[in-house]
Amino acid sequence: MCIAVPGKVLKIEGNKGIVEIGNMKREVFMHLVPDVCVDEYVLVHAGCAIETIDEEEAKITLNIFKELL
């Protein structure tokens, strides 16, 4: 099973960006979401941002992950 996790875009430089997932920051490829902006949320899978997601849905999902851990 594969899972994508939501994260907040902090920085974008070319095809890469820094995304905050929980309290971790990760560099991810942004080429699949070319119109995303800083402070928006994306779903991250296998080191790539694969889709944008609204902030409310991202926070709901992150809270569910916290409960599972």
Question: Could you tell me the residue ranges of all domains in the chain?
Answer: 5-68
> Does the domain at residues 5-68 carry the CATH identifier 1.10.10.350?
no
Q: Which two tokens stand for residue 31?
A: 């080429």
pLDDT of residue 3: 84
pLDDT of residue 20: 96
The Cα 69–Cα 41 span in angstroms is 22
pTM of the predicted structure, to 2 decimals: 0.90
pLDDT of residue 23: 86
Stretch 47-57: mean pLDDT? 96
Measured in residues, the chain has a length of 69
pLDDT of residue 50: 97
pLDDT one-digit tens code per residue, 25-40? 999 999 999 999 999 9
